[in-house]
Structure 1
Amino acid sequence: MVNREKIKKGVRLIIEGIGEDPERDGIKDTPERIARMYEEIFKGLEPPEEELLKCIEGETHDEMVLLKNIPFYSVCEHHFLPFFGYAHIAYIPDGRIVGLSELPRAVDYLAKRPQIQERLTKELANLIMEKLRPKGCMVVIEAEHLCMSMRGIKKPGAKTITSAVRGIFRRSQKTRQEALELINKDK
């Protein structure tokens, strides 16, 4: 659970630490604003409000399902700066399917915590395998990291691409290639 008071105290210390006046008109409410923002962007640290990847009862399918260009925002745990981009998810059901909004909901939940992109990719693939028990899944995430764009190496626009493949997507190059072609179509 987010502790607003601790965040406000910490932000005030940062404001003082950079040499600003924490009582200046434009800044005096910043600790409260940041505390509310952290409560929102780190919502994934709390248990989900609803079950993730709830299957549709009575519906089945056994061919590829692909949802691409799912926008997400997360915070890098190393510098507490945002990284953002798109997740692409493909799975081949073994009968069980979910409503399409369930996949972006899972992306949002897992992204709303201090993260690294590699872990986010794996967590999403593992969640799909656990909850849907499909023949396989593939998750591809492409993101820009502000810790690389605005500081350090300063390379805005550079994209990091990670993937996690499970089941048939790992065993079958043809299946993996089909998903990648669909992801890259119309880019």
Structure 2
Amino acid sequence: MTIENNYREIIAKIGENISRDGLLDTPKRAAKAMEFLTQGYNQNIDEVVNGALFESEADEMVVVKNIELYSMCEHHMLPFIGKCHIAYIPNGKVLGLSKFARIVDMYARRLQIQENLAREIALSIQEITGSTGVGVIIEAQHLCMMMRGVEKQNSSMTTSVMLGQMRDNPSARQEMLVLVKS
């Protein structure tokens, strides 16, 4: 059974008339949307980075802030929407700027929990760059908490993952936090 057929069945099971004019193409559109929203499963880190790792003598912290992210919680398959901040301390190599957003998107476009998303991003950047430290902070609003359940509209969640110097060196961690807030 295809995703489109599954959506057709879900729409019918919730009590809607699948033959209604406004719903005729909904299963096809919903299937296409789901394929887009989960396209991260069809990507791998090597393709995403695409060789954009460059020799550099830079050894001071690099921060990329406010990377928009859209993901879907694995518990309810409802969106969570937010921003990701990434910092790393280069160790002979720097990553092309756009690749940070592409890495965030690759992992966000999978069924996720925010805690794991932050960890996957941090570990990938650490592995790719060989940096001496990586920090990832994600701030997001979860529709599973806003639209259903406790229905708290102004709630948000912040997660962080710190690796290497970002974890072990308090001044590096503090520098990242200050730069992210500026």
Q: Same fold (TM over 0.5)?
A: yes
More helix by share: 2
Paired residue for 2:134?
137
Distance 1:165 1:84 in 2: 21
Q: Is there any run of 5+ residues in structure 1 with no aligned partner, and where?
A: none
Distance 2:79 2:154 in 1: 14
State the aligned residue count: 181
Q: Give CA deviations for 1:41-67 in whole Å, capped at 9, x if unaligned.
A: 111011338243744334331100000
Paired residue for 1:47?
43
SS at match of 1:152: coil
Greater shift in the superposed pair: 166-175 or 52-61: 52-61
- Residue of 25, 30, 35 corresponding to 2:31: 35
Contact 1:53–1:131 (Cα < 8 Å) also in 2? no
The alpha carbon displacement at 1:170 in A equals 0.6
Alignment of 1:66-85 (within 5 A): 66-85=63-82
Q: Is there any run of 5+ residues in structure 2 with no aligned partner, and where?
A: none
Alignment pair present for 1:106 and 2:103: yes
Distance 1:150 1:26 in 2: 23
CA RMSD of aligned residues (A): 1.4
The alpha carbon displacement at 1:99 in A equals 1.2
Which amino acid is the alignment partner of residue 22 of structure 1?
I
SS at match of 2:82: strand
Q: Give CA deviations for 1:99-151 in whole Å, capped at 9, x if unaligned.
A: 11110010001100111101100000100111111010000000000000010
